Structure 1
Amino acid sequence: MTATDPALTARAQGWIALSVLYGRIEARLEKALEARHGLSAREFFVLDVLSRQHDGDGGHLQMRQLADAVVLSQSATTRLVARLEERDLLERYLCPTDRRGIYTNVTPEGAKLLDAARPTHDEALREALADASGDRELAPFVRVLEEQKTDS
């Protein structure tokens, strides 16, 4: 394959379009969540991921598992968790069976904020996808996302 290979070019163009779509969605989420709830999109995502870990209060993962789930480095995840912990939205504690492991848990205040922010997140996501569906290059990706919604 050469750099001018049509398949490579199409793949690269698809990747660029997907990146553009991601950027537009993230920007819309960031603006809405920050304005209405004082949360960044990453903070929302951390709270959301943790809240879905079990059916009881909170939600917990080891810090390294959380870093993998939110696609951040461990150091960036630790800084993000520290900021959320300062706001009493998360708490960290030692694993009862392995003292080397540190778990992260959503506090009641974090769960309350997440519940309030979810409709904002969903509305901003819907708006971003609706805007993108009118773009010829982004529309195929929007269709795939919409199909996933109906399949689940």
Structure 2
Amino acid sequence: MTATAPALSVLAQGWCALSLLHGKIETHLERALETGHGLSAREYALLDVLSRQHDGDGGHLQMKQVADAVVLSQSATTRLVTRLEDRGLLSRYLCPTDRRGIYTNVTDAGTELLEAARPTHDTALRAALAEAAQDDRLEPLVRALQSSPTPIAVAA
């Protein structure tokens, strides 16, 4: 007598589909950004998140907020910030009102690279979604992504 694997629950099937879609998108983005601009998908995401900061109230993100936005641990985010700072794409400085706080800003070189990479990112994203939509398991997720009216912002 052989045991058969239990069927996946609907929830588990959905999670597997979401993980598969994420992997496909990440692979497309990684390849396109690295080839075209020497950026990883995480580096692009970090530059993008930090480029949206401003100098007004609540305008600078804490490292935890940045880490959450790029889906990394705080220590991995700090290492990523350091790597991009070493490349001259980010700069750090002390908060003028709280000497314990450190701000991270995108430099002019980082902004130029981000702006050059943005069309590549968007094209690769569209291509990955178009390819994924051909898979019956992923098509509903792609449709949901493409019809989502509400952008997700970094939580304050």
**One-letter amino acid of the structure 2 residue matched with residue 43 of structure 1:** E
**One-letter amino acid of the structure 2 residue matched with residue 36 of structure 1:** G
> 2: CA distance between counterparts of 1:29 and 1:55?
30
Q: CA RMSD in A?
A: 2.0
Matched, 1:33 2:33: yes
**One-letter amino acid of the structure 1 residue matched with residue 145 of structure 2:** L
The TM-score normalised by the length of structure 2 is 0.86
Q: What residue is the counterpart of 1:72 in the other structure?
A: 72
| Structure 1 SS opposite 2:61 | strand
Q: What residue is the counterpart of 2:92 in the other structure?
A: 92
Normalized per residue, the structure richer in helix is 1
Partner deviation per Cα, 1:81-112 (whole Å, 9 max, x = no partner): 00000110001111111111111100010000
Provide the aligned length of Structure 1 versus Structure 2: 145
| Structure 2 SS opposite 1:72 | coil
Counterparts in 2 of 1:80 and 1:151: CA distance versus 1, 3 Å: closer
Partner deviation per Cα, 1:37-73 (whole Å, 9 max, x = no partner): 00000000000011112389xx842323211221211
Q: What residue is the counterpart of 1:44 in the other structure?
A: 44
Q: Decide whether the 8 Å contact of 1:62 with 1:104 is kept in 2.
A: no
Q: What residue is the counterpart of 2:104 in the other structure?
A: 104
Q: Please list every run of 5 or more consecutive structure 1 residues that lacks an aligned counterpart in the other structure.
A: none
Sequence identity percentage: 69
Q: What residue is the counterpart of 1:124 in the other structure?
A: 124
Q: Which segments of structure 1 move beyond 4 Å, counting only runs of 4 or more?
A: none
Q: Please list every run of 5 or more consecutive structure 2 residues that lacks an aligned counterpart in the other structure.
A: 1-5, 152-156
> 1: CA distance between counterparts of 2:110 and 2:62?
17
> 1: CA distance between counterparts of 2:134 and 2:68?
33
The TM-score normalised by the length of structure 1 is 0.88
> 1: CA distance between counterparts of 2:93 and 2:64?
14
